[in-house]
Amino acid sequence: MNDLSVHFEGVSKIYPHFTLDDLSLELPTGTIMGLIGANGAGKSTTIRILMGLVHQDRGLVHVLGREMPREQSAAKLDIGFVSEDMRLYGSATLAWHMEFVRSIYPQWDQAYSEMLLRRFDLKPQQKIKGLSHGQRVKAALLLALARRPRLLVLDEPTTGLDPVARQEVLGELMAVLADEDRTILFSSHNTLDVEQISDQITFIDRGRIIASDNKEMFLERWRRLRLVLSPEADLPSLPGVVEVGGSERLPVLVTNRFDPAMVSACNDAGATVQAVDPMTLEEIFVANVHSRREKQTV
Amino acid sequence: MGDWEQGKEIPSIRQLAVTLRVSVITVKRAYMELERDGIIVTQQGKGSMVAPDPNLGARLYDQELAKHIDRVAQLGELLGLTPKEVASRVREATDRLTKDRLTKEYS
């Protein structure tokens, strides 16, 4: 039994102006992973390689135990994929699309598809060209979900959705996870969505994975410390400091290896800790990217 | 305390995550902390339930009190109060509470 739904080992892909460099990634079955990165960071390239749409130059990719891209047609029976650049037929109705997908995938769950129509507030007789952006996204998602795939791969599923539609979509993704044999990988630059539903989080920047861990680890280890230095004291050296801001007397540090013992260590060194602030995933991501980029340019 | 009674079975981690639309790992973490504090018990293969411990409420309040007392001590030090002054401020607060209760009862 293979309990990794997605496994990348040392995957590289070289384009004239962009390189995906030595990517390694593990996604355990039954979890949701959020892939976070700025525009052009390599999220979509990663997802295309995973789907066998782009072939890696180096490295091994296994998806649901199948080697990609060699065994992609077998793997795709069990993968539901939705991306922004996926087009539905404008002059056909949603009902036509549902029938079409059903004719290809034997696992299509008719009752579930009808429930999704109601939950997403979609009308099957409506033509695709008459749908709003949000309705199109939900229609594409319905077509993928109703196949009951073991792995859902979603490229920016919540981009451009209004708050109500976003919550509908996130709720439906969580509902998929009620079954612990199913796995979701989704990319987003909306860190709030990722923070809400992800178990695993991977940050990508400039074609490299800069951090990949479970969400609680990120939220637990990253802290912003506000210090007051006594006149004769120097800034104590603390583990995992990625950013030093504030003024000389009132420094503000960001660490990615926070430990409660740090506070007393600071106080002993003449640096009174005024506050220890938890950070949002967005702040963590931005601090992470900045510190990596600084190291690269040095 | 709370809405779930002692000995009551609570939803599985996955169930609760789906209902609340938060990630499984967050709920798992919360359950682990509750278990560590003795508020819930988990039996392998049977799921979790609220711990049938009648002293739990008192213990939680006691922990809460200890936390606040630590905070009082810290703030006292910040303001440059002596331990005696801090103690007398606490005494004033308890006296005030007693007085308030008495005036309420006799008014």
What is residue A53's DSSP assignment? S
Q: Nearest CA of chain A to the CA of B28: how many Å?
A: 10
For position A193, what pLDDT does the model report?
87
Q: Which parts of chain A have pLDDT scores under 70?
A: 1-2, 297-298
Domains of chain B by residue range: 13-50, 56-105
The complex's ipTM? 0.71
Distance CA A214, CA B27 (A): 13
Alpha helices of chain A — where are they, by DSSP H? 43-50, 72-76, 94-104, 110-119, 133-145, 163-176, 191-197, 215-221, 261-268, 281-297
Angstroms from A216 CA to nearest CA on chain B:
7
Cα–Cα distance for residue pair A23/A156, rounded to 1 Å: 20
Contact assessment for residue A177 and residue A154, using Cβ atoms and an 8 Å cutoff: no
Q: Cβ(A31)–Cβ(A183) under 8 Å? A: yes
Q: Please, what is the Cα angle at A151 between A147 and A155, to 5 degrees?
A: 95
Looking at residue A152, its pLDDT comes to: 96
Q: How far apart are CA A112 and CA A114, in angstroms?
A: 5
Q: Reduce the DSSP state of residue A29 to 3 states and report it.
A: coil
Q: Which chain A residue shows the shortest CA-CA distance from B13?
A: A178
pLDDT value for B105: 64
Which residues of chain A have a CB within 8 Å of the CB of B25?
31, 199-200, 214-216
pLDDT recorded at residue A189: 82
Q: A244 CA to chain B: closest CA distance, Å?
A: 26
Of A74, A66, A45, the C-alpha closest to A57 is A45
**At CB < 8 Å, which residues of chain A contact B?**
30-32, 167, 170-171, 174-175, 177-178, 180, 196-200, 214-216
Chain B residues with a Cβ under 8 Å from any Cβ in chain A:
14-15, 17-18, 21-26, 29
At A57-79, the pLDDT tens digits run 999 999 999 999 999 999 999 99
List chain B residues with CB under 8 Å of A30: 24
- For an interface test with B, give the residue of A181, A197, A201, A274 to mutate (most B CBs within 10 A): A197
Q: What is the mean pLDDT of residues B17-27?
A: 90
Are the beta carbons of A167 and B21 separated by less than 8 Å? yes
Residue A177 has its nearest CB partner, among B18, B26, B29, at: B18
Q: Report which of residues A228 and B64 the model is more confident about.
A: A228
- The DSSP secondary structure of A199-253, one letter per residue, reads SEEEEEETTEEEEEEEHHHHHHH-EEEEEEE-TTPPPPP-TTEEEEEE-SSSEEE
Angle between helices B24-36 and B13-20 (to 10 degrees): 130
Chain A residues near residue B29 by CB distance under 8 angstroms: 216
Closest chain A CA to residue B22 = A197
User: pLDDT at residue B88 above 70?
Assistant: yes
Tell me, what's the pLDDT at A43?
A: 92
User: Residue A127 burial (CB < 10 Å; 0-12/13-18/19+)?
Assistant: middle
A131-177 pLDDT, tens per residue? 998 999 999 999 999 999 999 999 988 888 899 999 999 999 999 98
Most B CBs within 10 Å, among A179, A185, A216, to test the B interface: A216
